[in-house]
Chains A and B, each alone.
Chain A
Amino acid sequence: DTAVSQTPKYLVTQMGNDKSIKCEQNLGHDTMYWYKQDSKKFLKIMFSYNNKELIINETVPNRFSPKSPDKAHLNLHINSLELGDSAVYFCASSRPQANEQYFGPGTRLTVT
């Protein structure tokens, strides 16, 4: 079974649309993250949730809103998509106080 899964794997959409990316982990971890990776492979943390509560909220546009219905899920909703939002988005999870992160397979978002 996949430890951290994301859907969809690919997402192509037009500017101005609203889209969501879903993430689920079956590892029993309390902490989950969302990252954005640009074309130069730089990994930038966006959000981190610990047991459904937001603990890291980096400077990202408020068009991005994470939602954690339970500690196994952390979804990312993006409003009014822009060209610059095109990237690969990774979800990850870890145990609290532990640092090893398990990453999902990524969602490649293309905004046209």
Chain B
Amino acid sequence: GQQVMQIPQYQHVQEGEDFTTYCNSSTTLSNIQWYKQRPGGHPVFLIQLVKSGEVKKQKRLTFQFGEAKKNSSLHITATQTTDVGTYFCIGRGSTLGRLYFGRGTQLTVWP
């Protein structure tokens, strides 16, 4: 799998602050998924975005898929210590169906 550019690589925030991570692909994606991996744990599926311009919310988490289906973001409002972990995206190319992986953003939340 090739890479999707994911930024930032690390983010340290104080509890209550907002957090956003971005995935940018040079190729058009048919869909993109977001996963969370807690320290010492395994990746856990959060959500999948399929439609151009799609926005989905899960409590304090907001996921967006760009109009061109090349970019996506995950925004956490008012972070909590339970949000600590690595968030990464996996996109599926629209042409050949290849998987493209973000390198992940490691989020640290200070109490």
Contacts and interface: CB of A to CB of B under 8 A. Distances in A.
Interface in B95-111: 99, 101, 103-104, 106
Which 10 pairs of residues, A with B, have the shortest CB-CB distance?
Answer: A103-B42, A45-B1, A103-B43, A100-B45, A42-B103, A41-B86, A41-B104, A106-B42, A105-B42, A99-B33
Binding site secondary structure of chain A: loop
B1 A102 contact: no
B33 A104 contact: no
Contacts of B99: 45, 56
Interface residues of B, number: 20
B88 interface: yes
B101 A99 contact: no
Interface string B2-43: 000000000000000000000000000001010101000111
Interface of A: 40-45, 56, 58, 90, 92, 99-106
